[in-house]
Structure 1
Amino acid sequence: MVKKIIACLDVKDGRVVKGIQFVELRDAGDPVELAAFYSEEGADELVFLDISASVEGRETMVDVVKKTAAHISIPLVVGGGIRTVENMKQLLEAGASKVSINSAAISNPAVITEGAKTFGSNKIIVAIDVKWSEVDQDWLVYTHGGQKKTEWKAVEWAKEVEKLGAGEILLTSMDQDGEKDGYDIAITKHVKNTVSIPVTASGGAGNVEHILAAFTEANADAALAASIFHFKETSIREVKNYVRERGVEVK
């Protein structure tokens, strides 16, 4: 299986931001400029998340999607504030290659199935934000930018979204997010071993070794990173060379 390296742009109020455990956000640049840079650098995909959209109850910024899509030659995944099939249609028409849903998938699971039937499963990604619960001794799913805890356990929800028609899972560990000390290998591996659709590891990449571990230890289909690319700690080219030299096939 050929693995993918994905750059992520968390966008708030038209600017790319990066935080730690979904808070303490700091400015990381202009989304269109960064998207064009990553496209040239060799990213296999770009994920564009309007991180305040669900919280503020508004739709994703279609105009920024249009501008971004016009400047890149790689697939663009867009998420944040997508609640209906009509929202999906707007974004796909604006230039998104796929849409990512999270909060709406929990509150209205039928939207996964409707989206898959209308546009094809390959266009529908379900983002799953998880956090370890000492009480439950398991990973629980959170929505609304990590602000609302649900009753769903991560693995059970992953199985459910596959059944409902999702084509991919974007799995983010909130505990690891922005900490830069590695992905949560345990839950990534657990989810990957449970479903047959592709799983992207997200949350915690701090260096090339962490990305390699997502592939070799968790068997993730793709690794997503933000901070290490935005702040030029490493480059997509360096990551690809590093994992290739260690026997991992990347695009």
Structure 2
Amino acid sequence: MTRFRPCIDLHAGAVKQIVGGTLTTDDAGLKTNFTSEHPAAYYASLYRKHELEGGHVIMLGPGNDTAAREALLAWPDGLQVGGGIKDSNAADWINAGAERVIITSFLFPSGAFSLKRLQSVLKTLGGDKNKLVIDLSCRRVGDGWRVAMDRWQTITNFEINQENIAMLEPYCSEFLIHAADAEGLQAGIDEKLVSHLASICTIPVTYAGGGRNIEDLELVKRLSQGKVDLTIGSALDIFGGQGVTFHECCEWNMRQN
């Protein structure tokens, strides 16, 4: 059943809500919707208090390791962590308290998918796919979507289609998919992408990008027949938004249960 999933987006050590399409390596054109006065651990404790499982901590660039580790300490085995995860550090993040690690860019050297790299990550996790989430955050290309990496600026040749999803599912427990073109805009979800994901995925999927209110949770539920979860970021009151309150999202989850 569709659930609201919480997030903690980290940039330069602070909790922020960013317009996804403006992220670059030098942050020259970065547009930020919100920068919190609270540390990451504050949000981790809040999510723990309300038993909001499956939340993700995303490190957007360097300088976020300390904040991410503090969040994991606030809720051991209760959060997923992503951003710069690779075979050399995946197990370290699990040992630091992550329930699962989220991996994306490492799987696409030079923009092409590497099954060898995916197998290498899984091996460092003892072969336990329940500790691994694959991030297939994407941008629209023509009539479809392709995975975007390196802060969503590099579009790979990897299409979000049934064949590729079926190939990846044996290696992971979930997919996390940001619609990078909609991320941070509070302009509504990518309805076609949500429906597409529901039709091709057989394992849990979390969609993020454009969510703005409770009606969008209901919309995702209807479009996906309850198969896809939704993350709401910039529109949420705890991130300076006015579209929906954190309390309303928690109540919505309780009604689904």
- TM-score bracket, shorter-length normalisation: 0.7 to 0.9
SS state of the match for residue 207, structure 2?
strand
CA deviations over 1:100-121 (Å, ceiling 9, x no partner): 0011122233232333342511
Inter-partner Cα distance in structure 2 for 1:150 and 1:66? 30
- Quick check: 1:158–1:169 contact (8 Å CA) kept in 2? no
Instruction: Look up the match of 2:57.
Output: 48
Q: In the comparison of the two structures, how many residue pairs are matched?
A: 236
Instruction: Look up the match of 1:227.
Output: 234
| 1:12 maps to amino acid | H
* Aligned: 1:199 with 2:199: no
Identity in percent? 19
Inter-partner Cα distance in structure 1 for 2:157 and 2:61? 23
The structure 2 residue matched to 1:27, chosen from 17, 30, 35, is 35
Matches within 5 A, 1:128-207: 128-133=136-141, 136-155=142-161, 156-163=163-170, 165-207=171-213
Large movers: runs of 4+ above 6 Å: none
TM-score by length of 2: 0.82
CA deviations over 1:174-212 (Å, ceiling 9, x no partner): 121111122212112212211211111111111111112
Inter-partner Cα distance in structure 2 for 1:38 and 1:231? 17
**5+ long unaligned stretches in structure 2:** 23-30
Inter-partner Cα distance in structure 2 for 1:140 and 1:39? 34
Instruction: Look up the match of 1:67.
Output: 70
Instruction: Look up the match of 1:101.
Output: 103
Q: Per the alignment, do residues 148 and 100 of structure 1 end up closer, same or farther by CA in structure 2, a change over 3 Å counting?
A: same
Q: Per the alignment, do residues 172 and 90 of structure 1 end up closer, same or farther by CA in structure 2, a change over 3 Å counting?
A: same
Instruction: Look up the match of 1:123.
Output: 131
| RMSD (CA atoms) | 2.3
Inter-partner Cα distance in structure 1 for 2:105 and 2:134? 9
CA deviations over 1:157-178 (Å, ceiling 9, x no partner): 4333224x12211111112111
**Structure with greater strand share of residues:** 1
TM-score by length of 1: 0.84
**5+ long unaligned stretches in structure 1:** none
| 2:57 maps to amino acid | F
Inter-partner Cα distance in structure 2 for 1:10 and 1:206? 17
